[in-house]
Structure 1
Amino acid sequence: MRTQSKHIVDLKEVLIMSQRSNAYDHHKLEELVGRIVNDFQNYADKRSELADRSCSSYFAPSWNSSLENGLLWMGGCRPSSFMRIIYALCGSHAETQLSQYLLKMDGEVVDGHDGDSSMSELNATQLAKINDLHVEVIDKEDKLSKLSANMQEDVADMPIAVTAFSRDSVEADVAVEDALDKHEEGMAVLIADADKLRLETLKKIVEVLTPVQAAEFLLSGKRLHVSLHEWGRVREERRFGCARAEDAAAARGGAGKSKRSATC
């Protein structure tokens, strides 16, 4: 999360400096975008190494809020969501440009800048490539989701389910341990394949976009990631804080409990 936050600062600085000078520094933008993609590559490689030890931890990380874990797909975001971010940015920037155009017609002074295209100015060729990639990625996501579903069903198979039913003890025998180890190995392969798809999708998007557009896209994605992390944390603090207050009221004999519940 610290790396994500640093990337946000770096991207904002480069984009703002370029806007103020009315000319984008393509070399600096390409260098920064390349470094961010490489950081993601290193993250995926390291996670693949560590997944062999405790893969389950990456499917529902303890450092995430419940909100974040509820949105995860194979331990991360869906690669197809990258394209959804682009579509959202295109619409948002187009609305901004329309507002600026209307202000100009009314005689208002609107600050702008010359230079490379923004996300609102994706050309037909770029949009076609993004759309084709979207369809391709969704198909690959579906295949990985089916594999995950099969693995989840396997947990109710021999010997895990039968052993759990036939004994009161929670201790697992050798057969169960071997089955669980095999299951975790399969999960590690799944998360590695998912990270590979995420990385491939990111690289292909960056190739389609101009350096400016790529920087805007990465900035938006990272802001979304960090914001969801913070929103989830705040919501849990508020929710669990209310729960603790209600427990305290109940311990005092219920005094003030109804008032607290209404406030929560």
Structure 2
Amino acid sequence: MTSFTNFYETWFEQLHHLVHQLVAAHRPPTTPDHNYDLEHLVNKVMSHYTEYYQVKSVAAESDVLSVFAAPWATTLERSLHWMAGWRPTTVFHLIYSESSILFESHIIDILRGLRTGDLGDLSPSQFRRVSELQCETVREENGITAEFSEWQDSASELMNVSANVSEKIGRLVSVLRKADDLRLRTIQRVVELLTPQQAVEFLIAAAELQFGVRAWGVNHDRQRENIQ
């Protein structure tokens, strides 16, 4: 897992740089070229996430148990994990939260009929599509959780000399890949239903949440080490 841990540290640092680019470019688009620039940055971030899950899949094939243990994550991050990563439905809590905050901050403009174009200005059609996607994601999450529970129920068989360990480990790899595929697809589908400006705001908010949790986790782990 040392190689993947090293990859993650580099990948995480690169994510910081990409978010800095998103923040620098983020402003209400005034020209078609600006929209194009935002789309280009969004695609760069999505490619970055795709790379993460591709490398993680290779690491899982090599040592899936270590991937579940997630030695590159802090204690806090691991406590929040669902299938060795963030829970896909977290995306929808983030969307609704950001939309509500921005809506309230622009309520006067909205009442005047002015469009802000940000996440606080989601259309009825966008809200409907977000809700539909949330329901689909919840169903897939529940299915993966049930499959993992079945695997756990049979895990005791690994102690049996005659057990087919490779087959059971293979099933665990399959469960993890389904979870990671759902994570990536959820972000992709949410980004697709947003405008470039809204997608930039969403990706910034998602990354800042990730940065914040990791920073809290690092601080907590350091304090615990000092106490010990």
TM-score by length of 1: 0.74
1:143 corresponds to: 143
Q: CA deviation at 1:23?
A: 5.8
Within the alignment, does 1:45 sit opposite 2:40 as a pair? Answer: no
Higher-Rg structure is 1
Asked if 1:236 is matched to 2:216, the reply is: no
Residue in 1 that maps onto 2:44: 35
**Distance in 1, Cα, partners of 2:129 & 2:167:** 39
Alpha-carbon RMSD across the aligned residues, in angstroms, is 2.1
Q: 2:15, 2:48 within 8 Å by CA — same for their partners in 1?
A: no
1:93 counterpart residue number:
102
Q: Deviations over 1:123-160 (max 9, x none)?
A: 1000000000000000000000000011111112x351
- The code of the aligned residue for 2:154 comes to D
Name the stretch that deviates more: 227-236 or 123-132. 227-236
Matched, 1:80 2:89: yes
Alignment of 1:58-69 (within 5 A): 58-69=67-78
Unaligned stretches of 5+ residues in structure 2: 1-11
Corresponding position of 2:18: 7
**Structure 1: which 4+ aligned runs deviate by more than 3 Å?**
21-24
**Matched-pair identity in %:** 23
In 2, the alpha carbon distance for the partners of 1:69 and 1:187 equals 18
Matched, 1:223 2:194: no
1:61-101 Cα deviation digits (max 9, x unpaired):
11211110011111211111111110000111122224xx4
Name the SS for the 1:62 alignment partner: coil
1:184 is displaced (CA, Å) by 2.2
1:144-182: CA deviation from partner (whole Å, max 9, x where unpaired) = 0000011111112x351xx5xxxxxxxxx5x45x42x33
Map of 1:106 onto structure 2: none
Q: CA deviation at 1:115?
A: 8.1
1:121 and 2:132 correspond: no
Which residue does the alignment assign to 2:168?
Answer: 183
Contact 1:79–1:198, Cα closer than 8 Å, also in 2: yes
Q: Which amino acid aligns with 2:131?
A: N
TM value normalised by structure 2 = 0.86
Among candidates 167, 191, 195, match of residue 206 of structure 1: 191
Q: Which has the higher mean CA deviation after the structures are superposed, 43-52 or 82-91?
A: 43-52
